[in-house]
Amino acid sequence: MAGTHRRLGLVPDIDRTHYFLCVGANPAVSNGSFMTAPDVRRRLRTVRERGGRIVVVDPRRTETAREADQWVPIRPGGDAALLLAMTQTLVADGRVDEASIAAVAHGWPQVRERLKSFTPERVTAQTGIAPETIRSLAHEFADAPSSVAYSRVGVCNSRFGTLGTWATDVLNLAAGRLGAVGGAMFPTPPIAIAAVAPHLALGDGHGRWCSRVRGLPEVLPTCPLTRWRTRSRRQATGRCARFSSTPATRSSRYPTAEGCRARWRSSKGATR
């Protein structure tokens, strides 16, 4: 299923939403991060002043959670399961307009079938959130005049980061919030990134080539950092390797710079 080009992303319409579901983000400190805007704290307060709600899902009671209407503590790595269970709730309760989804995305029937495995009861152990709370969040999200789910680094840097980031878009899509007022907006960047991406080797895709050591498939078009970790173990060249990471490729386990230097020195028999 496709929603948007990954480098354009989706930005929450914070100034017009009535329900802001903030998962793994702390905009009160980051000034919005991906949705950066002047005086984000004031904008968050305005959501509540116009009768809206702010719900923060995070293992830690963050600065944003302290100012929210509700803080939902979650077990680290459980974000994807929660978001999929919320979507499954909407499907099971008949709150999804499948005709509208078909007009903007493809692959929904396959997603709908897979959602059957993510009932609130089944994901409770992974999320640490009671089934009735998951259903309540899903119903509030769907019933609000406008709503948006927003996730950031706390989600994409977890064990199931890619799935969690995608599940955020799926929830917005299922609830009819994709591209809607007060929902997840498609921004217009100053540079037409989608147009120049093919010329910069930034095009979308998966498995078009694999890493040399472990044969890991590329994604958009980079490899997991675990690949770099493996290669640094087998081939320490003494040179600094340049690499980049995106939410789709981050791993929860990767070597520190000092760790790599120590292994390189050991392999060279250096004494300093």
Query: CA-to-CA distance for 214 and 202, rounded, in angstroms?
Result: 23
The b-or-e profile of 139-178 (16+ CB within 10 A means b, else e) is ebbbebebbbbbbbbbbbbbebbbbbbbbbbbbbbbbbbb
Q: How far is CA 56 from CA 123, 194, 195, 207, 232, in A?
A: 18, 32, 35, 35, 38
- Over the stretch 118-159, which tens digit does the pLDDT of each residue have? 999 999 999 999 999 999 999 999 999 999 999 998 998 888
Distance in Å from the first CA to the final CA of the chain: 53
CB atoms within 10 A of CB 6: 19
The per-residue pLDDT for 242 is: 47
DSSP at 239: S
The per-residue pLDDT for 259 is: 54
pLDDT score of 270 more than 60: no
The per-residue pLDDT for 90 is: 98
Mean residue pLDDT across the chain: 82
Query: CA-to-CA distance for 84 and 137, rounded, in angstroms?
Result: 12
pLDDT score of 98 more than 90: yes
What average pLDDT score do residues 226-242 get?
50
- Over the stretch 165-218, which tens digit does the pLDDT of each residue have? 999 999 999 999 999 999 999 887 777 766 776 666 556 667 878 888 888 887
AA letter at 54: I
pLDDT score of 236 more than 70: no
Tell me how far apart the 2 most distant CA atoms of the chain are, in Å.
Answer: 67
pLDDT score of 243 more than 50: no
- CA neighbor of 161 nearest in space, from 1, 7, 24: 24
- Over the stretch 58-96, which tens digit does the pLDDT of each residue have? 999 999 999 999 999 999 999 999 999 999 999 999 999
Of 31-35, 37-41, 184-188, least confident by mean pLDDT is: 31-35
Tokens of residue 112, six digits: 């709908």
Q: Domain map of the chain by residue range? A: 11-185, 205-268
The per-residue pLDDT for 106 is: 92
Query: How far from the centroid of its chain's Cα atoms is residue 269's Cα?
Result: 43
Instruction: Quickly name the fold that domain 11-185 has.
Output: Dimethylsulfoxide Reductase; domain 2 (3.40.228)
pLDDT score of 26 more than 80: yes
The per-residue pLDDT for 255 is: 44
The per-residue pLDDT for 18 is: 98
Query: CA-to-CA distance for 58 and 84, rounded, in angstroms?
Result: 16
